[in-house]
Chains A and B, each alone.
Chain A
Amino acid sequence: MVLTHRNVDGIDIVALAGRLVMADVPQVRQRLLAVVEQGQGKLALDLAEVSFMDSSGLSVLVSVFKAARLKNGDVALLRLNPTVRSLIELTRLHQIFAIFDDEAAALARLR
């Protein structure tokens, strides 16, 4: 799993690429929690290149969301492919995550 991190006006944008499954979870969780800890807790997760995710991947998203909310921040999910979107909706996590197809809209939400 490849993570690419940039910061735009205090908002962290992390793009993930590959499969977010149990084997990748410890590393991805640690890196995303570090981003939240070191930043303002405002994180846009670009999942356009995540081809597959399982429930352990979802656990990372929820853990990072909880960490961000503890800092009065938020996590927006960006550019979900149909497979990942289906999983998010199946597990009703769209009830807690703001989901966007457009980065500018996600950044506007997080500001």
Chain B
Amino acid sequence: MNPLTEPIGVAHYLVVGAVLMVCGLLCMFTKRNALGVLMGIELVLNAVNVNLVAFGSPWLRADAARSIALDGQLLAMFVIVLAAAEAAVALAIVLCYYNNHATVDVDKASKLKG
């Protein structure tokens, strides 16, 4: 069973999305730089986008009429917009924190608990 001659299905995309999601989560868990945590969040959001597009694509499944069609792409578009907004606000917060504490180490941010 040669994988190069088999047709690509939804499950292939879901595996890629799973790997990207786990990479993003590991990045969020293990990075102490706040910008590294932001990059992990971007990876997680991209994994969600891969899944949404895969479920909406008519090329990846036998019964194309039952896919979520354009809804997947529209939802992924809103995810992209919200991710850009999230990155802008988070970067502003990180810069504010850096200007006040001269570090971007999230472990040192425990004094913000008050």
Physical interaction between A and B: no
